[in-house]
Structure 1
Amino acid sequence: MSVKGAFSFGLNLKKNVMNENSFIRFKSRIKRFEVYLDNGFTHRFITSVDKRVVMDYLNQFLNTSSPRNRNNTRTDIRTMFQLFEDEDIIPSNFVSKLKHLKAPPKRNKSYSENKLEFIYEYLKKNDPNLLLFVKFVSYNFLRPIEVCRLKVEDINFKEQTLSVKAKNKLVKEKIIPNILMEELSFLCKYNPSDFIFTPKGEPSDCEATDDNKRDYFTKKFKEVKDLFTKKAKDELKIILL
């Protein structure tokens, strides 16, 4: 099978077994590797792509990115070549033998109590919807992308629970603490199928992907966070007056 044919075949199969957001990231990394292979492998068989070729690509990727991104790329290429092995397209998955690099996570600096109070008061006054988003993350220990998936129907007002769709499509139940539950009564007036958090600033239907919605709220919070730099501290005090 040709390089182009193998990747096309693999992506079509993976599309049927991966959730939409995971597949988008997977396809993006595989396509970048396919573009890299255009240099000399366009009309060659997939079996001509050996360990050295993949190592050179990962090393080149590492030079322009981080160990974590390199490892994620290696994982997706390994997954694709495992499919090739399972389908008897290649004799063995040599990518699985490539080392996983150490990528120590960077610890985010904690906010002081004083800064937290400023952020809380600022959001309460200027963006209560973003504040509610932050509370879902903080009080229910949810990932931002999990908050973006929440619909009105996921809130059980009687049992005071929350149904969360995890990455692997399993649904997990979480108890909503009273401090958050008291703020959710307004959701009753919306359609059960409405997403709770959308770029509109209120629950509604939304066709944007989970990743796009997460990026939207991440950008909004970053704008708020930037207000709390040392340079903007005095200006912020004026805003809150």
Structure 2
Amino acid sequence: MHYKIEIVPRNVPRNITVTVGKKRYSDPKLYIPKKDGKATVEPNKRWYVYFYWRTDPNGVLDRKLQFTKNINRFNTVKERKAVGNALVDAYRLALSRGWHPIEKKTIKKEPSRNTLNTIIKALEYSMKVINTENKSEATVSVYKNRLNIFTQWLTNNNLAGLNPNSLTTEHFYMFLDYLRFEYKKKDGKVLSNTTIDNYRREIGAIFSVLQRQRIIATNPIKGVAKIKSKPIKNKAFTSGDIKKIKDYLLRNDPYLIDFISFIIYPLFRPKEICRLKVSDIDLNSMTIGVETKTGYNRRKVIEKIKPIILKMDLEQKRADVNLFTHKNKPIFWDAKLKTKVDHFGYRFKKVRDALGFSKEYTIYSFRHSAILNLYNNLQKSGLNEREIIYKLMPITKHRSEAGIRNYLRDIKQSIPRDHSDMFTINF
């Protein structure tokens, strides 16, 4: 219905012109097939709701539309009439509210926050929020993997339909017991306490998102105690160890020497090296950009790794090519970051096992070895500890003095000097 108000002078009576447009549809009706004048439910007699539609809004009712909507699945006249009349009312209401029976709308409506009424839906929503928070690919991947195990456990224990606010701390303790006593990795091994505690921390972070978004009132995982564990720490190699490893690599895997050189000299972590692409190298200024824990930053290409970069012939490579790959040369490597890091980790594990090093020695140990080597050489040059710390911070990229002190405390394996001259006991 269209309303048109004509503006006229005050001394003239006001007139309102109402123009009634044509309704595009006839009133929906239920078609009831009959036999001998009575309604029938015989197989070849279809029941349906119908109405006529104007293809041209100003034209005639030229199109008959029919909808069965499973009416004919019912076996009695009474049932079909009840369902059919309900459908008539539904179509009448839909048409009155502007439903267009011919145009198919393809716009997908995002679910309302009010639909997040189960724990599974709420956790899916939480991951959508996390995906908008500019977290690294590796972090999001870990969250997804942890969450998949958790949601599978919820489903298996008939908890997936719980309201998000109904999940308790006790439920999560049950999940941790499952990880500790029942869950097995693909290789059949159980999870370490460190890994189980990582589940606690990372799933707790996902629930924190729900709390921040006011989907849940409290985070049920916040009160779960940290699981005690004694993590295996990477030990630093000695100079003799490093020489022995290099000799072995020269004979068996020389490409790994270049990869490890990027750990030792610029002190990159394996994850950071695996992210490096041609676009990160500026051959004019001889700088290299790297995405670290503290963000993306550029560093000078030091002389120790310049020959490695120059022999890669990067001028001829595309910007999206990876520097280090499973093919032992710069190529485009379409794999997850974890897959890339694991590839080089497994390659070094073969070296470690062949040379008889324990599991405390990993490819990451080279970073500890390098920083310890720098510390010892600066100490030999006569610098005191505070001076050494300030020299190392720009190189190691630690944000605080306390941070690098804690790091050094973990990796230092210094042997105290002979203290015989301090005794006054002669035994």
Q: TM-score range by the shorter chain?
A: 0.7 to 0.9
Q: Deviations over 1:119-163 (max 9, x none)?
A: 212323432321100010111111111100011221233433221
Q: Deviations over 1:42-98 (max 9, x none)?
A: 332222210111122224324442232122111122112112222222111132222
Task: State the SS of the aligned residue for 1:171.
Answer: strand
Q: Report the Cα distance in structure 1 between the residues aligned to 2:262 and 2:335, rounded to whole angstroms.
A: 20
Q: Report the Cα distance in structure 2 between the residues aligned to 1:226 and 1:108, rounded to whole angstroms.
A: 15
Q: Where does residue 122 of structure 2 map in the other structure? A: 6
Alignment of 1:72-151 (within 5 A): 72-151=198-277
Q: TM-score, normalised by structure 1?
A: 0.85
Larger Rg: 2
Q: Report the Cα distance in structure 2 between the residues aligned to 1:8 and 1:114, rounded to whole angstroms.
A: 52
Residue 4 of structure 1 and its aligned partner are, at CA, apart by 1.9
Which structure has the highest helix share of the two?
1
Q: Deviations over 1:8-44 (max 9, x none)?
A: 2222222232322211110110111111111021332
Q: Which structure has the higher relative contact order (CA within 8 Å, separation 6+)? A: 1
Contact 1:136 1:142 in 2 (8 A): yes
Matched, 1:200 2:317: no
Aligned length: 229
Q: Where does residue 49 of structure 1 map in the other structure? A: 167
Task: State the SS of the aligned residue for 2:250.
Answer: helix
**Matching residue's letter, 1:229:** G
Q: Report the Cα distance in structure 2 between the residues aligned to 1:142 and 1:119, rounded to whole angstroms.
A: 19
Residue 103 of structure 1 and its aligned partner are, at CA, apart by 3.6
Give the gaps of 5 or more residues in structure 2. Answer: 1-116, 182-189, 358-427
Matched, 1:225 2:342: no
**Matching residue's letter, 2:355:** F
Q: Report the Cα distance in structure 1 between the residues aligned to 2:250 and 2:317, rounded to whole angstroms.
A: 22
Deviates more, 1:140-149 or 1:189-198: 189-198
Superposed CA RMSD in Å reads 2.1
Q: Report the Cα distance in structure 2 between the residues aligned to 1:180 and 1:105, rounded to whole angstroms.
A: 32
Q: 1:202 to 1:108 in 2, by over 3 A?
A: same
Q: 1:115 to 1:86 in 2, by over 3 A?
A: closer
Q: Report the Cα distance in structure 2 between the residues aligned to 1:225 and 1:121, rounded to whole angstroms.
A: 13
**Matching residue's letter, 1:57:** F
Q: TM-score, normalised by structure 2?
A: 0.50
Contact 2:167 2:220 in 1 (8 A): no
Q: Report the Cα distance in structure 2 between the residues aligned to 1:110 and 1:20, rounded to whole angstroms.
A: 29
Which structure has the highest strand share of the two?
2
Equivalent residue for 2:176, pick from 58, 63, 72: 58
User: How many percent identity over aligned positions?
Assistant: 24
Task: State the SS of the aligned residue for 1:173.
Answer: strand
Q: Report the Cα distance in structure 2 between the residues aligned to 1:110 and 1:133, rounded to whole angstroms.
A: 17
Matched, 1:15 2:15: no
Q: 1:196 to 1:92 in 2, by over 3 A?
A: same
Matched, 1:176 2:301: yes
Give the gaps of 5 or more residues in structure 1. Answer: 231-241
Q: Report the Cα distance in structure 2 between the residues aligned to 1:183 and 1:213, rounded to whole angstroms.
A: 20
Equivalent residue for 2:152, pick from 23, 32, 35: 35
User: Deviating runs (4+, > 6 A) in structure 1?
Assistant: none
